[in-house]
Structure 1
């Protein structure tokens, strides 16, 4: 095995697989990435839309974690991309025609919250004082223990985050008096797919708001595929190789390598590895839980969305869910296996700020809501009714649509099991036992030459590449150990 052509083979070319390959290649390792589909990038693909000349992102569009990722920053990736930032990171409209905006500026956001101004400032100011270091720490396998060597541990901010973030979103919202503040935080927390009554849903609200205040919620000019293209360029610059259209169904189909990294969810890794892992470990992986799925609609519109609250036109991302109580009820129903009549909808309107995605006179938008994992129904009507609720006349502007249910998404990307975008439900247990309690760190497996590097490992979902980066650090330790053994044998 040590005479193989490759030091490491990565199976899967999502952002984590590419990040792992880059990190190893930068350490002078011989790396090959295998991708089953013809196009590289996993969830970073941008598709020709329903008509030529218009483009929709397959999965991620707004990528604050990519802009803030310590690994992407370390390799100079942000400077090689054209970022588009809407004036406000997020808009959250209400039935009375008003809307609350999440601005990059903390004070401007706080000023919108009236009597909750001081409470919002007290919640986020301690986090922002060491915001970059705190975010880097939160995106490590063990915050406060494992960290980026060049960044100090922001103990005060980390303790403040632990105190506020390890509770439920409902508990966090109850600290605020205004409907606007509670709804803003509930919408942020709902990205977790957890019931808002369950810890640590508050942590997701804090992280997403922290990102908004640090870097905004940017998108990439021309589509998220631009990020995949720059990652491919970086890998090639360090001598790494890519092979697309190479589906792998058995380990024997992988070229000989000293280490194999799996950018796969546990279900797909089990199908690939089979009996090579011991039974106790296979049972752990089989217990790994996936969260709710999503139902997504891509739209082409005649002109931009006619928001009742015109301030919504200032944000690329709009949360459509009404009050905190309504959002909590919708997410609770999904977790209990029911489709709510008024789902919480996350809508993105990229062409409002990036005309390169569309043709003159045509607007590109998409929206999704959470649905029970693997749900087989059609949520088109309930999603569009929710948009129409806050943008009367929206449906009359639809030129064309394309809907993606959980099964469609999984067929397109097998890591989206049951439509789960996060590669596993981020319960408190699965934030750390991700994908298993043992071996630790969880990038390792009982086979010392097989590693996980997918979003089913810490720090979990999001376009940041850090699951791959942290996995690569442990893979490199393994390779160094093999190097020492080889040197001893040659003396």
Structure 2
């Protein structure tokens, strides 16, 4: 055998799997199609020289909180987290913005009086036990939780639809704030368990914050790659793997890929019953992405939006719910829900000469080629009059460009598959061990396995654990 393990793909999950296996002394080699490692965490000069933009992921509460990533000495390899003064703000048309502060108490004091107790009841029980609870949340459904009672209490809320959960809030501010959180799941709000991502992200804001890495999201995987190599791991870039036949001999192969790619690469070597399950796997909505080179910070009308690392743009709960329903049914909303990040406010490495960067995307139907530039700019300008005058240059990516950049983003789906209740816990094939491909020496380590999308590395970690149990 040339290696104990071969890994295809060098995103956070591929690197997490490689690190975990190398920690146990296994010889591991990783192959990457592009000339640089990183998957969804690359940072590039997309608009003009000196403006450094995160191509996909930008704000990383789950990376900071990840049980596996935080166990690694990534700080020793240059990873430096930046915590914005305000993790999240949500501007509204006719009243102050909804805001999540790092401080739970400060957030409760800011929230409208009619919602204070309900917000506290929803979040407070989990704050002190968040590290342990998150380990259970980010584990495969087949593992017994370490905190069963707390997990059950969390699950009673998380399994609700976002529509149902939001009924506990009365004010436009709080309902809008929750809508922006829940919409990260890229699902219509009437779907079961769409409250889950809102609860996770809301609680994370008060525990680890919503930080981002100095210099760009690429700093996360660069640090991971350096640590992987220090453990003896090897990475070869610029190699597109189209068949397992071209790989060196190894005991196991791990795919940091989605089902469609795995079928293309290894379909002839998979059990027929498993092939049928992967063929039934469903991908979710896509995204349309805009990067801005700006002469000035985004001129938000609300002062707290000017201090926020992330701004959710989309108005009231009902407006965002409508937008998400439209994209799920194949339509392009005139007023899309837009996620905005403004990293250059606290990271001078992102833009030259007192200029700034802006990062934004909205949800669109899978495979969409619609140009959403104007709807996105219009939505931002709605809450930041004069924004258009700050734009020096833009760079846009529709769903096809997103998939071309990262083949894991099938049809622009950045979550590795639709995260509805039928796939949330059992992706990709409904097996007790979702990582091992039955009757083979192959494993799946991508976000198409539990716990799904997000820069947390836990899919790769659990896949590596599955490998170690068998080896």
Shorter-chain TM-score: what band?
over 0.9
SS state at 1:275 partner: helix
Report the equivalent of 2:100: 102
Paired position in structure 2 for 1:39: 36
| 2:106 pairs with 1:113 | no
Q: Does 1:25 pair with 2:22?
A: yes
- Residue equivalent to 1:484: none
Q: Distance between the aligned counterparts of 1:476 and 1:441, measured in 2?
A: 13
Q: Determine whether 1:214 maps to 2:207.
A: yes
Partner of 1:483: none
Correspondence for 1:455: 447
Partner Cα separation in structure 1 for residue 264 and residue 99 of structure 2: 45
Q: Deviations along 1:73-126, whole A, 9 cap, x unmatched?
A: 222335652111111110000002521110111111111112211111111111
In structure 1, distance between residues paired with 2:18 and 2:406: 20
Alpha carbons 1:200, 1:428 under 8 Å: kept: yes
Question: Cα RMSD between the aligned structures?
Answer: 1.2
Contact 1:97 1:309 in 2 (8 A): no
- Show the counterpart of 1:245: 238
Q: 1:426 & 1:68 partners in 2: Cα distance? A: 21
SS, match of residue 68 in structure 2:
helix
Task: State yes or no: 1:201 paired with 2:200.
Answer: no
Aligned partner of 1:441 in structure 2 is 433
Cα offset, 1:401, TM superposition: 0.2
- More deviation, 89-98/18-27: 89-98
> CA–CA distance in 2 between the matches of 1:6 and 1:258?
7
2:264 matched residue in structure 1: 271
Correspondence list, 1:302-341, <5 A? 302-341=295-334
Q: Within 5 Å, which residues of 2 pair with 1:366-445?
A: 366-438=359-431, 440-445=432-437
How many residue pairs were aligned? 469
Is 1:282 the counterpart of 2:275? The answer is yes
Distance in 2 between the 1:208 and 1:432 partners?
18
1:409-458 alpha-carbon deviations (Å, 9 max, x no partner):
101110000101100111111012210113x2110112330100000000
Question: SS of 1:70's equivalent?
Answer: coil
Deviation of 1:286 (Å): 0.9
- For residue 402 of structure 1, give the secondary structure of its aligned residue in structure 2: strand
Aligned residue in 2 for 1:61: 58
Partner of 2:358: 365
Q: Which residue of 1 aligns with 2:132?
A: 133
Report the secondary structure of 2:289's partner residue: strand
Q: Deviation of residue 160 (structure 1)?
A: 1.6
Tell me, in whole angstroms, the C-alpha distance in 2 between the residues paired with 1:208 and 1:436: 27
Deviation at 1:142, TM superposition (A): 2.1
Q: Does 1:164 align with 2:161?
A: no
Q: Secondary structure at the match of 1:203?
A: helix
Pick closer, same or farther for the CA change 1:79–1:236 going to 2, 3 Å: closer
**2:347 is the counterpart of 1:350:** no
Per-residue CA shift, 1:225-248, capped at 9, x if unaligned? Answer: 111111011111110110001110
Alpha-carbon shift at residue 476 of structure 1 (Å): 1.2
Bigger mean CA offset, 80-89 vs 27-36 = 80-89
The equivalent of 2:464 in structure 1 is 472
Task: Give secondary structure in 2 for the equivalent of 1:297.
Answer: strand
Could you say which residue in structure 2 is the equivalent of 1:49?
46
- In 1, Cα distance between equivalents of 2:170 and 2:41: 39
Moved more, 453-462 or 76-85: 76-85
1:364 match: secondary structure: strand
Deviation at 1:275, TM superposition (A): 1.8
SS in 1 for 2:20: helix
Give the TM-score, by structure 2 length.
0.98
Structure 1 residues without counterparts, runs of 5 or longer: 148-152, 480-491
Superimposed CA distance per residue, residues 175-215 of structure 1 (whole angstroms, 9 cap, x where no aligned partner) = 11111111111110000011111111000100011111110
Does structure 2 conserve the Cα–Cα contact (< 8 Å) formed by 1:130 and 1:154? no
8 Å Cα contact 1:293/1:420 also seen in 2: yes
- For residues 365 and 268 of structure 1, the distance between their equivalents in structure 2, rounded to whole angstroms, comes to 32
Contact 1:67 1:78 in 2 (8 A): no
Residue from 173, 177, 188 that aligns with 1:184: 177
In the alignment, what sits opposite 1:85?
Answer: 83
Q: Distance in 2 between matches of 1:189 and 1:197?
A: 11
8 Å CA contact retained: 2:291, 2:396: yes
Partner of 1:75: 72
CA distance in 2, matches of 1:417, 1:427: 17
Map of 1:221-240 to 2, 5 A cutoff? 221-240=214-233
Cα 1:424–1:182 change in 2 (3 A) is same
Question: CA contact under 8 A between 1:72 and 1:78: conserved in structure 2?
Answer: no
TM-score, scaled relative to structure 1: 0.94
